[in-house]
Structure 1
Amino acid sequence: MSRAAEKKEHPLSMRLPEADIAIIDRAASLRGRSRTDFVREAAVRAAEEVLMENTPIRMTPGGFDAFMAALSGPAVPVPEIVELIQRPAPWEEAGSRK
């Protein structure tokens, strides 16, 4: 088989309980996706998370020192976050129905 004619996709088959299929189909429908697309995306996302959890972060000794200094330094408030935290929740605002 020529290189241009080689398949780039590989089939994957799973046996799942009917209840699992129903949940997957419902979620896929809510996202406007096919079952295959939904499961593929979820599986790839989960695999990426596992790989990221187990990927070492490498840096130079100077980079590590700068990183530790940033972590050890005083916290700097972010004005937008401070404002958001101080803002009343919609159900706490005056004039809202209880």
Structure 2
Amino acid sequence: MRDAAINLRALPEQRDLIDHAASLLGKNRSDFMLEAACERAQAVLLDQVFFSLDTERFHQFTALLDAPPGENPGLERLMAVKSPWSTGTQWV
């Protein structure tokens, strides 16, 4: 059960826009807003690219990035599969 309240104020046209979008998805305003806010929060967190390394670990990290990729049989199998749009297969 949800027990943390989040309150905010919006312009009537913002509320109406949110309500309209929520209704198209069969959701209420709260569920729609909470889902949208969580998706955006996750995107922001995943976009964080800064991390700190000492000099030795930085050199190790860049060496790994600069090294040629190792063999990856799973990736090779995946890349060998023809895509449906390149084989002329009709999808219904």
TM-score grouping bracket, smaller chain normalisation:
0.5 to 0.7
Preserved contact between residue 22 and residue 29 of structure 2 (Cα < 8 Å)? yes
Q: Which amino acid aligns with 1:65?
A: H
Higher helix share: 1
Q: Distance in 2 between matches of 1:19 and 1:34?
A: 13
Q: Which has the higher contact order (CA 8 A, sep 6+)?
A: 2
- TM-score, normalised by the number of residues in structure 1: 0.60
Normalising by structure 2, we get a TM-score of 0.63
- Aligned residue among 23, 26, 29 for 1:25: 23
**What amino acid is the match of 2:53?**
M
Structure 2 gaps, min length 5: none
Structure 1: gaps (5+ residues): 1-6
Alignment of 1:83 with 2:85, yes or no, is no
State the alpha-carbon separation in 2 of the partners of residues 14 and 61 from structure 1: 48
Change (3 A) 1:11 1:89: same
How many residues align? The count is 86
Q: Which amino acid aligns with 1:41?
A: E
Identity %: 22
